[in-house]
Amino acid sequence: MKKTIALLSLLASAQAFSHVPDLKNYPIQAVYADLTLLKKANIPVLYADTNTNIGYSVLTGPMLQKLSELSHQHGRCGNFEALSEIPNDINSVKKDLEILNKLQTRTYNYANIKVAQNPKIADALQELKSDNIKQTVTWLSAYPTRYNRAPNPNIHVVDFSEKLKLLTQNSSYPITVDLIAHKNTPQKSIRVSIKGKTKPEQHVIFGGHLDSISGWGGTGRAPGADDNASGSASLLEALRVVLTQEQPERTLEFFWYAGEESGLLGSAEIAESYKLEKKNVIAVLQLDMTLFPGDGEFKITSITDFTSPWLRDYMKALNATYLNIEILDDKCGYGCSDHASWNRRGFPTLFPTEAKFNSMFQYIHTDKDVISSVMNFEHSLIFSKIALAMALDLGNSEQREPLF
């Protein structure tokens, strides 16, 4: 079933701008939505999955309006996903929700995953520098905005890709830096692809969104230091050190996505194309918000919805071997970042973030999302360590999520 997130994007913007658009005249629309919200809005649910708490409904304009308003009151996101057409067979709905169910249900405890200590990886981790992250966040947050609907939405994208070209140009193994154009936004995503030596068809993916948002209509100053210059910078620092190492056995890809703040636009198109091309994806790591230690130093959170139980346990094994920090578990409660684009399409994802949902930095999507004394670049460095350890361990391993 072909889906679009155009409406999701509209609704997501509704919450992001702290106002709700007029949806009353919107044409009838099929959606997957939060079951609790649907019930609260008295909207008839045509299929309910109580496990994932997702319901399928067909909404009229006024119903959309109601749901959007309610979701606006209850959280930070649209909390629902629009389908591009009304499915003529309820079985396709069941199938979609079954996939989600399988992906989200923890049927196994993978506590037995072991990551053997590799001195080369331990040494590489020492090469990561928080000052580099600080430099990148300072640079990115100085653009007036990185919003995907800004008049010139690619200025920072081109500058960032030029930096990546310089960084990768002297490599002794095949690396490409591409700008990826999208259908649903004029903003481009960036991909750095490092070809695997012996298993090039197997992909280990790292990503974060480079765009930012703030203010009414998104036209305000949007420094987005924490959300998400920080994740973008943590990734760049990990890549810098990956490039000092030998060619990996598996292909490593680094993405800086477009238009996340307008409804996961860039990552949705990319994940869709990887699905259509049946690409073999071992893991997708998302970095979004790494700079604010909301639960204290050396404490981070692993997001447990729209992520893979195997990868979450794998990250804990990596942590036990190389980092030894405290990893808390929490949910977003909705597809809150680009990992959801991949997970929705069947790929195993992982999303470590700065703090538990309620302790995250409060001023995202405003002009106050800037570098200040509450931010901590050593905190961001933890995420570079996770990305680097994963690149060097999983990128050179036979391990993968067991297929059932």
> Which residues here bind ligand BES, judged by CB under 6 A?
12, 15-16, 76-77, 227-228, 260-261, 263-264, 288-289, 332, 336-337, 353, 357, 360
Total of chain residues touching Zn ion, rule CB under 5 A: 2
Residues near 346 by Cβ (< 8 Å), separated by ≥ 6?
Answer: 99, 103, 275
Cβ-based nearer residue to ligand BES, 236 or 242: 236
- Pick what 97 binds: Zn ion, ligand BES, none; C-beta below 5 to 8 Å, kind-dependent: none
| Matching residue, tokens 């200040």 | 372
Q: What angle do CA 118, 120, 122 make, to 5 degrees?
A: 70
340 vs 351: CA distance, rounded Å: 10
| Matching residue, tokens 């990546």 | 164
CA–CA distance from 258 to each of 76, 134, 247, 253 (Å)? 20, 22, 28, 16
Closest Cα to residue 12, out of 274, 260, 304? 260
Cβ-based nearer residue to Zn ion, 241 or 364: 364
Report yes or no: 349 and 306 within 8 Å, Cβ to Cβ.
yes
- Pick what 210 binds: ligand BES, Zn ion, none; C-beta below 5 to 8 Å, kind-dependent: none
Cβ-based nearer residue to ligand BES, 15 or 251: 15
Pick the stretch among 69-77, 106-114, 259-267, 303-311 that binds Zn ion (CB under 5 A): 259-267
Cβ-based nearer residue to Zn ion, 161 or 230: 230
Position with the least CB separation from Zn ion: 227
To ligand BES, the closest distance from the beta carbon of 357 in angstroms equals 5
Report yes or no: 8 and 78 within 8 Å, Cβ to Cβ.
yes
To ligand BES, the closest distance from the beta carbon of 401 in angstroms equals 23
To Zn ion, the closest distance from the beta carbon of 58 in angstroms equals 29
Number of CB atoms found within 10 A of residue 346's CB? 14
**Which one of 49, 96, 211, 227 is in contact with Zn ion (CB under 5 A)?**
227
Pick the stretch among 88-96, 224-232, 234-242, 276-284 that binds Zn ion (CB under 5 A): 224-232
Pick the stretch among 165-173, 222-230, 319-327, 385-393 that binds Zn ion (CB under 5 A): 222-230
Cβ-based nearer residue to ligand BES, 198 or 372: 372
393 vs 103: CA distance, rounded Å: 23
- Pick what 353 binds: ligand BES, Zn ion, none; C-beta below 5 to 8 Å, kind-dependent: ligand BES
AA letter at 184:
N
Number of CB atoms found within 10 A of residue 127's CB? 12
Cβ-based nearer residue to ligand BES, 15 or 130: 15
- Helix (H) and strand (E) counts for the chain? 12, 13
Please, which of residues 192-221 interact with Zn ion by CB under 5 A?
none
To Zn ion, the closest distance from the beta carbon of 72 in angstroms equals 15
Residues near 306 by Cβ (< 8 Å), separated by ≥ 6?
Answer: 103, 104, 332, 335, 339, 340, 343, 344, 349, 351
Cβ-based nearer residue to ligand BES, 16 or 258: 16
Structure tokens at 187: 């903003």
Residues lying near Zn ion in the complex (CB under 5 A) = 227, 261
